Each structure stands twice: as C-alpha cells, then as structure tokens.
Amino acid sequence: MDGNVIVSDVSRFEEDVLKSSMPVSVYFYSDDCLPCINFSPIYERAAQSLKGEMKFVKVFRSHNRQLAERYSVKSSPTVLFFKDGTEVCTRLSGYITHPDFKSSIEKILGRACGVKNRTVARCDVLIIGAGPAGLTSAIYTARSRLYTIVIDSSLPGGQVASTFHIANYPGTNGVVRGIDLMENMKKQALDFGAQIDDMQRIIEVSMESDEKHVKTDQADYHAKSIIIAAGAQPRKLPADGEADYRGRGVHYCATCDGAMYMDADILVVGGGTSALEEALFLTRYAKTVTIINRSDSFKAARSYIDEAMKNPQISIIYNTIVKKIIGDGFVQGAELENQKTGEVTEIKTEGIFVYIGNEPNSAAFRGLINLSSDGYIITDCNMATNIKGVFAAGDIRDKEVRQITTAVGDGTIAGIMAEKYVNGR
C-alpha cells in the first residue's frame, strides 16, 4: 500500500480490481519513465481526495508483462478504469494531464467533483501556466517583490518535464533532463517568494476591469495583472480510429513509449523538427521507422534532415497522410492516402508516433482576447495583449519559433512589463 494507492500484481489483480465493489483506476507504470514521474503525484492526490469512492491501484508493468499484455498495455504510463469487473471509458496513456484524468474520473463516478470550501486569493500578478515561460515570469515578478501566484491545470513543468533530454539549453552541461531543468526553475520561483497552486482547472475568466478575476474549480483569484503562459499540447492525429487506438499503438511521446517497440516496424507522422528528432530516437529500439510526411519536404534544420536521410533504418513517404488506423484491439496497420494522386494504400505497422504540431491551450480566453486564426494569443514585442495589464508568453503566443529558450525570453519580458504595469511605471 502506497498511501491510499494499492500496489497490485498479476496474482492479486482479480481480487484488487475485478472483484471490487467500487470503481477502480489502474495505473501501469515504469521506474524509468519521465511521464510516470510527473503523473504519480497527480494519481496519489486523487487517491487521497476520493478515498471511499474509488479504488486506486498501481501495477509495475515490467514485472507484470503477462497482465499488461492481457489488457494490451504497451506503454507507461497507462491508466485503465474498471467497473463491475469490466474495463470502461477511454484509457489514458503517455503524457496524462490532470484535467484529462479528472474528467475520466468524473464520468465514472457520474458527477462533477466540486469543492465545497472555495478559497479567495488576491495578488499583484497571476500567472496562468507553470512551464518555462510562466516560471520565468514568476522569478522576475516575485524577485521584484510583487505578490505572485502561479496556477496550472496540472503539475509545474509543462511538456518540458516529460522530455527525456535537452541538449540545446544554454548554460547546461551538454544534456539535461527536462524534469531537472523545470525543478530548478520551480525552486527559483519559490525561493523568491512566488506561490504555486497546481491542479487548478480554469472555469471562468474576467479581464476587462482593472482587477482581473480567474475562477478555478477550487478558488477565486483576483489580480492587478495577468500573464498567460498556458502553453500548447500535441495535436491529435486526424485519422479514423485515433481515439480507439490511443495507448494501443498510437502514441505522442517517443521517450515514454519507444522502448516497447524493440525490433518492431513503426511509423512516425510529421514533417517538422520534432518528427525527425523522435524518428532518430526511435531507431534505438525499432527495426524500421517510416516517416509519413504530408508535404514533399521537411520543415526542419538541415542537420536533422541529413541525419535522417543517412540512417538506414529510416524510410520516408512524402505527400501522404494517415487516413485510417487498422487493428484488432491493437494497431496492426494504417491506411495511407497520397495527397497528389488520391491513391489509397495500406501499410503494416506495430505502432504510430505522431508529431504534427501543437494546439494552444487558449480556449478559456476565446472571445476575451485577440487570437490568431490558429488560436494563438496575439501580442506586441512587450508581450502585451489588447487588454491592459494582460500579457502572454511562451508557446501560447503567436510567433514563429517555439523553443524552451524563446519561452524563457518571453517570460522574462512579460515579467518585467507586468511589474512596470502594476507599479504604474
């Protein structure tokens, strides 16, 4: 027993899960999995808050391969839900966010998990998002002795925290784990006096008046200035069957799931830097990697293109999209469509890794703030939006280049400009 979480295995699974009188959440994890490190605190907090309403079970996947194979669990983390001995609802896998996990739990319990005792917080600067941009902003505003609160729908770190290694961040010793880099940023923000409230799902936003108001499912925040640094999330593959096979052969994180495809034939979908980076990474495990590129060229640095072209394990199919995913409980192939000729063909594959860009987490601000046609927040060079006292930084901002370094730069500017706004300078 790990707090309120039951640690189970193949010998106890029937008793712990299938015969349970309560709904059960089953979390398959690994000890070398960065997304697992990020998700475990979310899982443990849910187990604590919902004690007596739902059972929470953890299974160490590598020590229970037969059990994992029985339920077609091929990656870590993967969360399954059971009710009356049967798997129900949509399973979650890869980089699991708190909102997605909470939404699944609410569906199973058949109610919204409301909070009776809401808190009210007033601050100088409210920062929405605890990734590189948000935490950098917090470092600057808190260091300027402004009362700073950072809220995030999940845990601090953003997508960076699930990155296996980062080799192009200045000042690091060659390579650094994403989770370590983000822990350093978080510690700096806290040391300067910032407050970080994680797992806060935004319900309502009001930014028109001098005092801004953000309502989450747990608290009401009032601030003189707001910095929006909510980031972006991977765009889902627009193919028939994507939702059915997500976690059953369709993946969005090579470092999370690549090791499960030793000597396998897999697809990588995408034509940018991320697609090439992950395709090269996956050659450590897979026998062959076929890149499906909807264009006739790549939008990536020449060095990545050259390296992919020279790798004998990598082949490329141009001007093509994945139209349909084929399988029987798990991915077995894909239906491809040539964008120039319209020809439809089938290809056998054991896994599909998707890197077709990101979507900004800007839904809460639609209709309140100027957005681009793609949903990114429009700012000037000072990170200012069309609303006074409201700034945006990082991947959620409309710009050409999205890297950790550019997010940090945005966060620096936004933090400085927010301080000037609050102090009337």
What mean pLDDT, rounded, does the chain reach? 90
Residue 2: is its pLDDT beyond 70?
A: no
Q: What pLDDT is recorded for position 358?
A: 86
Distance CA 259, CA 308 (A): 19
With beta carbons less than 8 A apart as the criterion, state whether 79 and 93 touch.
yes
Q: What pLDDT is recorded for position 111?
A: 58
Residue 262: is its pLDDT beyond 70?
A: yes
pLDDT higher at 256 or 212? 212
Q: What pLDDT is recorded for position 315?
A: 97
- pTM of the complete model: 0.75
Residue 312: is its pLDDT beyond 50?
A: yes
Range scoring the smallest mean pLDDT among 69-73, 202-206, 331-335, 381-385? 69-73
Its sign, for the CA torsion 282, 284, 285, 288, is positive
Residue 18: is its pLDDT beyond 80?
A: yes
Q: What is the mean pLDDT of residues 272-282?
A: 92
Residue 243: is its pLDDT beyond 90?
A: no
Could you report the per-residue pLDDT of 52-75, keeping only the tens digit for each? 899 999 999 989 989 988 888 877
Residues with catalytic function: 253, 256-257
Q: What pLDDT is recorded for position 3?
A: 63
Percent of the chain at pLDDT exceeding 90: 64
Q: Which of 34, 89, 19, 31 is nearest to 58 (CA)?
A: 31
* Plot region of 307 (φ>0 → left; ψ -120 to 50 → alpha; else → beta): alpha
Banded pLDDT at 95 (limits 50, 70, 90):
confident
Which residues, including other chains, have CB under 8 Å from residue 12's CB and lie 6 or more apart?
Answer: none
Residue 267: is its pLDDT beyond 90?
A: yes
Banded pLDDT at 93 (limits 50, 70, 90):
confident
Q: What pLDDT is recorded for position 210?
A: 93
Distance CA 254, CA 21 (A): 37
Distance CA 269, CA 262 (A): 19
For helices 404-422 and 132-143, the axis angle rounded to 10 degrees is 30
Distance CA 288, CA 263 (A): 8
Element (H, E) at 134: helix 132-143
Domains located in the chain, CATH noted? 5-109 (3.40.30.10), 119-233+358-422 (3.50.50.60), 242-354 (3.50.50.60)
Could you report the per-residue pLDDT of 170-228, keeping only the tens digit for each? 888 777 888 889 999 999 999 999 999 998 989 999 998 999 999 998 899 999 999 99
CA distances from 272 to 51, 107, 196, 305, 338 (A): 44, 36, 34, 9, 19
Q: Which of 322, 320, 326, 270 is nearest to 298 (CA)?
A: 270
Q: What pLDDT is recorded for position 140?
A: 98
State the CB neighbour count (10 A cutoff) for residue 165. Answer: 15
